[in-house]
Structure 1
Amino acid sequence: MSIPQTPTPPYPEYSDAVLDAPANYGILEQLIGTWVNVNPNKSATGWGLHTTCMPSPGTNTETIFGIFHFLCEDYTEELSFAPVSGGVRNRGGTNEQFAGAIEYKQSVQRVSDGVGIHEEVGMYLWLNEMYNHAATEQSVIDDNGYPLISIGAGANGPNYVPPYSIARSGTIPHGSAIMLTGNFQQDVPGKPAFPTGTDSWSAPFVQSWPDLQIANAPNLASSPLAISPSMGASALLVPPNGNTAEAAPLNLDEPAPAWAFDKSLTVTQPDSNLTYFQRIVADQHYPYSVRPDLRLRDAIKDQNISKYTLIQLSSKHDGGPQGGILNTPFVKKFANVTEMSLNLWLETVIEDGQEVLQLQYEQIIFFEFMVGSNGQTTRWPHIQINTLRKKPAC
């Protein structure tokens, strides 16, 4: 069934019977259940992955330029969604919104030793259930409306059209709370398209990711690369010999370049951009350490996917109502979380003639801490990706 992306005025008239109606969860209803990694062969593409840059021990925000610690780890997780019964009523006078709320809980463990590395709770909200609530004789009497408002006022609107269909709130124990908003595109034929070769590196510098943009996100705001321009990344990388004529993008489908393993760079070119992010390219998880969502691409490479739905949320939009992020004072000072986006693909996989629902996600978060030699604040991507299947219902 096709689900409209936005409600269409005029809205149905509100009555108290709405209070007893079941909640409408829209496209989010497909999330309900518990999702886990299904990786019996323990293949690399079957695990989740995160990349995280953090301040290095001994550094501070005022005097040491961008010395950072880098982590790239495989993880497994359990991601559960449970519906909140009944629509959640938001009263706006003439306009009333009944949100369909779904609680989520995410628990993440490192593959190497089973240690927990992330816990998160929150809610997804479906925001498209709208009603018109005109003034009645009883409301005018109860609320002392006469003579300023008459019976039937508001019957013809104005109607509020929600700018976004979906919202997500979330809290993590590090001390950050998020509000993301956005939209969805349902039943896109085929499988999600991911780049290959040099496009995997260079495309994010000239076009938004993914190609299908539905959340009104700022242009190029959420690059899928684990190395941001403020960390020295650029579409064309000048080799260690300094010959700009040989500048070229990384080909993320080929082995890491030799300079990634050249230990002399820290001495011969201590201020080089390549030296700065060399360890990310040399990481054992390459190319996923550089562009984590290529693991999503490789996980579905041999799958028969008939269609998918993309849910795209962001804390920041290109104009209009915004989401946001709040941090505790310590986090705000030393690793300020400033921006977050989510791409979530719900894929219909055909296996043995049966349809199987699969969830892939990519979360891109930006920390801001320390400054570069040019005095500008450095933006550090923190990226999480995973491919999950639903646990069978008990």
Structure 2
Amino acid sequence: MVDLPPKYTPEVLNKPAEYGCLSKLEGTWVNHNPTNDGTRWGLHTTCMPSPGSNSETIPGKFHFLCENYTEELTFSLVQGGVRNRAGTNEQFNGAVKYDQSIQDLTGRGLHEENGMYLWLDDIYNHPADDESIKTDIGFPEMAAGDGSNGPTFVPGYSISRSGTIPHGSTVQMFGKNSEVTDGTPPPFPHGTAAWDFDHLAISKSMGGAGTTPSTPINLDAPAPDWVFDTSLPTQDPSGNKTYTQRILEHELYPYSVRPDLRLRDAIAGQNIKDYTLIELSTTEENGPQGGILNNPIVQKYVPVTQMKLRLWIQTIEEDGEEFMQLQYEQIQFFQFHYGTDGGTTRWPHIQINTLKKKV
């Protein structure tokens, strides 16, 4: 049986907001890369409809873009809990605003976004009383004390995020947080284990670069020879290898294929004392769902259909001093055109970065 949450009283309105682990985000985070270390820049991979193509008659022609970027990401706490009244249950959200600005390494703007993270775990039980019965005309259906035994709302998630970008998409994501305090770093794969379509810039519906479960590509080794075969577009123009060849032959390989390997390499050798992991998604197997709204042209031609996020807030010890570091992997799926087999094609758009909190 679910325990009842604390009873609501007017004093709750004067309590400071609860932000949970989101309070660690407060401040401004930036790329810190005085030695121009390649692992210390952000990176994105983006598949876009090829010029002259359309979603009705031309299958799956795409332009691939992968580049480094620099970023400023600012979080600010909204003072006071934000009250959601739901009758017997009341929820007070701890709101954290964010503003994100991303430029390429020449200073050209790439991405702007703003929104909020919400801490959702602050729940109260609010039963009826004589005053509410009188004011809200609850009699004769209700009596003082109704709701004191529930039902109790149990949040399925501890965190939500809403965000808006000027392309015309608005996102709502839900998820949870976990804590690691034993000094172990975030786990990332190596070798063929890194060939995991959940994190690749190549989806299965893009042909999977011609791999099978028994023939993954080792992303810690040089790219396979066929990647540099210039005859492929002529000899096998519709082949799976040809289709994704440009992603594997990119100068930023292997990060052009699996961007979060740059996060792995950025923390190699660091002393990570502890970290918080936040995992959010627009879709879940069951329970409440998030979602994405797109403006008309995006919805018609390049709809964003799913988004997921992993974000690590890390305490780093270096030369006897501590500083805060933030890493994230954000994956969106576009769904434009169709494959040569007529099926739906999903195009991953991935962003990763390693940021240091300003002091």
The verdict on a shared fold, with TM-score over 0.5 as the criterion, is yes
Question: Percent identity between the aligned chains?
Answer: 59
Secondary structure at the aligned position of 1:371 is classed as: coil
Structure 2: distance between partners of 1:188 and 1:235: 41
What is the CA distance between 1:9 and its match in structure 2?
3.0
Structure 1: distance between partners of 2:171 and 2:211: 34
Structure 2: distance between partners of 1:117 and 1:287: 22
Moved more, 354-363 or 126-135: 354-363
Paired AA for residue 391 in structure 1: K
What is the CA distance between 1:235 and its match in structure 2?
8.2
Q: Which residue of structure 1 lines up, in the alignment, with residue 290 of structure 2?
A: 323
TM-score relative to the length of structure 2: 0.97
TM-score relative to the length of structure 1: 0.89
Structure 2: distance between partners of 1:275 and 1:188: 45
What is the CA distance between 1:163 and its match in structure 2?
0.4
Q: Which residue of structure 2 lines up, in the alignment, with residue 231 of structure 1?
A: 206
Moved more, 383-392 or 185-194: 185-194
CA contact (8 A) 2:209 2:241 kept: no
Instruction: Pick the aligned partner of 2:162 from 148, 169, 186.
Output: 169
Q: Which residue of structure 1 lines up, in the alignment, with residue 92 of structure 2?
A: 98
Paired AA for residue 130 in structure 2: E
Structure 2: distance between partners of 1:339 and 1:295: 23
**1:81 maps to 2:48:** no
Instruction: Pick the aligned partner of 1:34 from 28, 48, 53.
Output: 28
Structure 2: distance between partners of 1:249 and 1:188: 33
Instruction: Pick the aligned partner of 1:50 from 44, 47, 50.
Output: 44
Structure 2: distance between partners of 1:26 and 1:56: 44
- 1:157-236 correspondence runs (5 A): 157-189=150-182, 190-201=184-195, 204=196, 223-233=198-208, 236=211
What is the CA distance between 1:305 and its match in structure 2?
1.2
**1:355 maps to 2:318:** no
Secondary structure at the aligned position of 2:345 is classed as: strand
**1:24 maps to 2:18:** yes
CA contact (8 A) 2:209 2:244 kept: no
Structure 2: distance between partners of 1:251 and 1:188: 31
**1:283 maps to 2:250:** yes
CA contact (8 A) 1:191 1:347 kept: no
What is the CA distance between 1:234 and its match in structure 2?
6.4
Moved more, 16-25 or 45-54: 16-25
Deviations 1:53-112 (A, max 9, x none): 00000101011111100000100000000011100000000100000000000000001x
Q: CA RMSD in A?
A: 1.3
| Pairs aligned (count) | 357
Q: Which residue of structure 2 lines up, in the alignment, with residue 148 of structure 1?
A: 141
Q: Which residue of structure 1 lines up, in the alignment, with residue 353 of structure 2?
A: 386
CA contact (8 A) 1:235 1:249 kept: no
CA contact (8 A) 1:305 1:350 kept: yes
What is the CA distance between 1:237 and its match in structure 2?
5.3
Structure 1: distance between partners of 2:209 and 2:42: 27
Structure 2: distance between partners of 1:126 and 1:390: 21
CA contact (8 A) 1:237 1:250 kept: no
What is the CA distance between 1:188 and its match in structure 2?
4.8
Please, which runs of 5 or more residues in structure 1 have no aligned partner?
A: 1-7, 206-222, 239-246
Structure 2: distance between partners of 1:175 and 1:293: 26
CA contact (8 A) 1:46 1:387 kept: yes
Q: Which residue of structure 2 lines up, in the alignment, with residue 218 of structure 1?
A: none
Secondary structure at the aligned position of 2:220 is classed as: coil
Structure 2: distance between partners of 1:355 and 1:256: 38
- 1:239-278 correspondence runs (5 A): 248-278=215-245
What is the CA distance between 1:355 and its match in structure 2?
2.6
CA contact (8 A) 2:32 2:356 kept: yes
Instruction: Pick the aligned partner of 2:131 from 138, 145, 155.
Output: 138
Deviations 1:95-131 (A, max 9, x none): 00000000000000001x1101000000000000011
Paired AA for residue 297 in structure 2: F
Structure 1: distance between partners of 2:291 and 2:176: 16
CA contact (8 A) 1:184 1:309 kept: yes
Structure 1: distance between partners of 2:258 and 2:37: 18
Deviations 1:317-371 (A, max 9, x none): 0111100000001001111100000000111211122332211000010000101
**1:66 maps to 2:60:** yes
Structure 2: distance between partners of 1:62 and 1:178: 26
Q: Which residue of structure 2 lines up, in the alignment, with residue 305 of structure 1?
A: 272
Please, which runs of 5 or more residues in structure 2 have no aligned partner?
A: none
Secondary structure at the aligned position of 2:208 is classed as: coil
Q: Which residue of structure 1 lines up, in the alignment, with residue 339 of structure 2?
A: 372
CA contact (8 A) 2:47 2:64 kept: yes
CA contact (8 A) 2:210 2:240 kept: no
Paired AA for residue 148 in structure 2: A
Secondary structure at the aligned position of 2:179 is classed as: strand
Structure 2: distance between partners of 1:273 and 1:132: 57
Secondary structure at the aligned position of 2:346 is classed as: strand
CA contact (8 A) 2:209 2:240 kept: no
Structure 2: distance between partners of 1:288 and 1:231: 18
Structure 2: distance between partners of 1:199 and 1:349: 27
Secondary structure at the aligned position of 2:311 is classed as: strand
Structure 1: distance between partners of 2:210 and 2:270: 31
Q: Which residue of structure 1 lines up, in the alignment, with residue 116 of structure 2?
A: 123
